[in-house]
A and B are shown apart, each in its own frame.
Chain A
Amino acid sequence: MSGCFSDILWARIEGPARNWLAGAWPAADEAPAIVRFRAAFAGAARRLRDCQLQAEDIRALTAAGVIGAESWQIDNVARTALLLRALSALPAAGHAEFVRQVYLRGDYREQAAVLHSLSFLPQPEQYLELAIDACRTNVLDVFEAIACENAYPAAYFPTANFNQVVLKAIFMAVLVGRIADLASRVTPELKRMVMDFASERRAAGRTVPDDVDLIVNLETA
């Protein structure tokens, strides 16, 4: 499955982009240097922007488990492929810290790319702290990258953290229907939180988002 990203990437790029990627591509048998990797990760969007994903690529990504693949661009694919390639040459014990540094020091689109890739990296559970921390952002693009069309929260988040994702989505006017596998994680406690929120809004004379009813009416998992 992890080979799918680099297969798509190399099949789609040509010309100067291909030359650039060949130079930036991490070695198979040598631990990646973080500075050089960060430069490649940062440059991927700009360097590859003339290359487009094709319909068959979207299908392949979907088959590999990417949710919402139709909104992926070449840089999402490239960044996931770069991460997988770099980690393959790094001892497993160093993976979490490597990914964390790439995430922390990336711009918002780089951070979003890391978050989209988490489920596809080896031992995804080791990125739980990073993913929970990402939900604390106030930057909508970053929050959406972890909360929406991403299997990670429902698969790995403890209940309290998953509930925070749902509440924050309602706060940020992000449709909760975009949270993958939401129905599998609805609990009486989540319903209580959402109903408390609705009560606060009514007491304040403000409107209550439709998503409140959506959650309250879902069956408890």
Chain B
Amino acid sequence: MKMFDHHIHMTSRTTDDYQAMADAGIVAIIEPAFWVGQPRTHVGAFEDYFLSLVGWERFRSRQFGIHHFCTIGLNPKEVNNPDVAEGVMELLPIYLEKESCVGVGEIGFDDQTAAETRHFEAQMQLAMDFDLPVLIHTPHRDKKAGTARTIDLVKASGIEPGRVLIDHNNEETLPLTLDSGCWAGHSIYPNTKMDEDRMAALVQQYGTERITINSAADWGVSDPLKVPKTVAAMRKAGISEADIETVVWHNPVSFFGQSGRLDLGEHGERPRIDQSELWEGNSVLRGQEAVVEPAE
């Protein structure tokens, strides 16, 4: 079964992860711009990060036969840093133009401060200006109230709720998100957020409409194979193949396809691997023989 992990921070992951993901059936991924684990001290660090999301990381992914897209935005933590926030906001229109950028994100609330609200609203406006869907992070702390505030802000922005995916849902926020008309993402994590069996139970209870899953894997303890592992849990729970495929493929394709930029080839097949390619003179290989699949 083809799978789409629509939220994963590959910059923090290894080539072994890419290989394991490809072997497990992951054909496409989206890497949302987020924070890199410690605060950046100047705007230039963001520009280099955005460049890697549309450049080197995309190349690396394709070397393993995985389509790589990104969403671009100023993350909810660093909007609170006055040294960088305004400068990054000025950069966003450049990177929202990039062909592999399929949305604005991840944006939203962290501490739920005034600065977060202001930049959240401004980035919702950017999404409408660029006609892009939006990926919204929901806070770890005070999550239920934060999700309700998120929905209020989405409604007030005037964006069509079907162009908004609210991520990191749990048992208590999912009904709120679905009622709002937004899409509901779930990040399957080793310890927090959501796990495989709880996710299968949610699909049994709520069905598959507007529901997606992702690994949200990053530099912390996380697992880039959580989408295939959740597929296994859903099978074990007796959920039909068609329903599983809706959650892990058709739904993210429909949602991010609204960007008009989700180029998955004619039939959504994985990209042809050609490890003899170079990116600005660099290869991911370290002396291994290049895998080169024949062109059709």
Q: What residues make up the interface of A, taking CB atoms closer than 8 Å to B?
A: 104-105, 129, 132-133, 135-139, 160-161, 163-164, 167-168, 171, 193, 196-197, 199-200, 203-205
Contact = CB atoms under 8 A, between A and B. Distances in A.
Contacts of A197: 141-143
Contacts of A160: 111-113
Contacts of A203: 170-172
12 contacts: A104-B39, A133-B80, A136-B39, A136-B80, A136-B111, A161-B111, A164-B111, A164-B141, A167-B142, A193-B142, A200-B143, A204-B170
Top 6 nearest A-B pairs (CB, nearest first) are: A203-B171, A167-B141, A193-B142, A164-B111, A196-B144, A136-B77
Given A136-B39, A164-B111, A200 B81 contact: no
B192 to A, nearest CB: 8
Contacts of A105: 41
B220 to A, nearest CB: 8
Contacts of B81: 133
B265 interface: no
Nearest to B219: A138
Contacts of A163: 142
A203 B174 CA distance: 12
A217 B82 CA distance: 38
B38 A139 contact: yes
A168 B39 contact: no
Nearest to A139: B38
User: By DSSP majority rule, is chain B's interface helix, strand, loop, or mixed?
Assistant: loop
Interface residues of B, number: 24
A25 B104 CA distance: 49
Nearest to B171: A203
Interface of B: 37-39, 41, 77, 80-82, 110-113, 140-145, 170-172, 194, 198, 220
Contacts of B111: 135-136, 160-161, 164
A199 B172 contact: yes
A15 B248 CA distance: 66
A137 B171 CA distance: 27
B203 to A, nearest CB: 16
Contacts of B220: 138
Nearest to A104: B41
Given A133-B80, A167-B142, A200 B37 contact: no
A196 B145 CA distance: 9
B64 to A, nearest CB: 28
A31 to B, nearest CB: 22
Nearest to A170: B141
Contacts of B140: 171
